[in-house]
Amino acid sequence: MQIFKETTTFDFMSKRKLAAVFSVLLIIVSLYSLFDKGLNFGLDFTGGTLLEVNYPASVDLKDVRKTLETAGYPDASVLHYGSSRDVQIRIAPPKNSKEQEADTESISDNVLKALKQTDDGVEMRRQEFVGPQVGDELRDDGGLAMIYALSAILIYVMLRFQWRFAFGSIFALIHDVVITLGVFSVFQFNFDLTVLAAVLAIIGYSLNDTIVVFDRIRENFRKLRKNTPTQVINISLNQTLSRTLMTSITTLLVVAAMFVLGGEMIHAFSIALLIGIVVGTYSSIYVASATTLSLNVSHADLIQVEKEGQDQESFE
């Protein structure tokens, strides 16, 4: 632990106003894009037709997309699954159609007919219709899952630390989620259930990083009583910086490998995690801690907590 104290002496909190401006700009751009463009919901949320076809030999997805565009499906999502001979095709439902489920058979026939014109050995392996009502339910349940998660986190951090820390952590989590969704909205990346799972994972990752930092801040508030709150937070951030960077870098390497080697099926999932890890690491330092400091956290706020749990902490 002494190594961390001697390694870095960055004055993080001196840049908190600049970081606040940067974060606010990102949030404004994200919210504007979310309200203006919205998210590019995948088949899981919009409903539509899912087809899986098998080729006798490896096939280039660009050629498949070109064939489908010629057949009248320019917005079809095409990706490999399992092997380079297996192709999954997702087609959004026709707009303003009240008989979308009945159209599944005709869409399947049209797609297979178009693909057979380029390769007669293509076989249909699976065809499935996802109703838009099911998609709406998934979208609503996913939103509720995030709300429940944030509410539980607020209560947990408030009980474990203090209300100023709770609001700092919640603001950091909201910051991370909004910016991640904003990037998906700005660049119109496909947003499906895997991305929703990634967003929930980002909440857990960011919270874990924040809790580690807050633990050290609470500990140092009790030990370094002659230092100002700004100094205590700076010391704590420097002490946990090595752990924070090592965790983030190793996680980024794994996710980057997933993005490069995992295939198109998990590209959106990997992108969400990459964004979330970077933003979550930044927010643990410049959002959660800075927000707690802005709420005027002081030694007195934590001395009382120390007295209440003094025996237990001494035992530990």
Report phi then psi at 81, rounded to 5. -145, 135
Q: How far apart are CA 154 and CA 169, in angstroms?
A: 8
pLDDT of residue 305: 43
Q: List, in order, residues 6 or more apart from 299 with CB less than 8 Å away.
A: 221, 222, 225, 229
The predicted pLDDT at position 146 comes to 73
For the chain, list the domains and their CATH numbers: 2-40+135-315 (1.20.1640.10), 48-130 (3.30.70.3400)
Angle between helices 193-223 and 229-261 (to 10 degrees): 150
Please tell me the pTM assigned to this model.
0.77
- Kindly report each contact of residues 263-267 with a partner whose C-beta sits within 8 Å and lies 24 or more positions away, as own/partner: 263/79, 263/80, 263/81, 264/61, 264/79, 264/80, 265/79, 265/80, 265/81, 265/88, 266/194
Residue whose entry in the numeric block shows the structure tokens 């499935």: 128
E strand or H helix at 83, and its extent?
strand 83-91
DSSP string, 154-181: HHHHHHHS-HHHHHHHHHHHHHHHHHHH
Task: Give the pLDDT confidence score for residue 279 in this predicted structure.
Answer: 93
81: left (phi over 0), alpha (psi -120 to 50) or beta: beta
Residue 90, φ and ψ in degrees, nearest 5: -120, 125
Element (H, E) at 66: helix 61-70
What pLDDT, on a 0 to 100 scale, did the predictor assign at position 277? 93
The token duo for 259 is: 């993005």
Tokens in use for 34?
A: 């979310």
CB 177 within 8 A of CB 275: no
Helix, strand, or coil (residue 189): coil
pLDDT tens for the chain, residues 1 to 316: 444 445 578 888 888 899 999 999 999 999 999 999 888 887 777 777 888 888 888 888 888 888 888 888 887 878 877 778 888 888 877 655 444 544 666 788 888 888 888 888 888 888 877 666 555 676 677 678 778 877 887 787 777 777 888 888 888 988 999 999 999 999 988 888 888 889 888 888 888 888 888 888 888 888 888 888 888 899 999 988 888 889 899 999 999 998 888 777 788 899 999 999 999 999 988 998 888 888 887 767 666 544 444 444 443 4
312 close to 241: Cβ distance less than 8 angstroms: no
Best CA proximity match to 46, nearest among 100, 99, 89:
100
What are the CA-CA distances from residue 44 to residues 48, 91, 133, 138 (Å)?
8, 11, 10, 8
Q: List all residues 6 or more positions away from 263 whose beta carbon is below 8 Å from its beta carbon.
A: 79, 80, 81
Is residue 146 within 8 A of residue 200, CB to CB? The reply is: yes
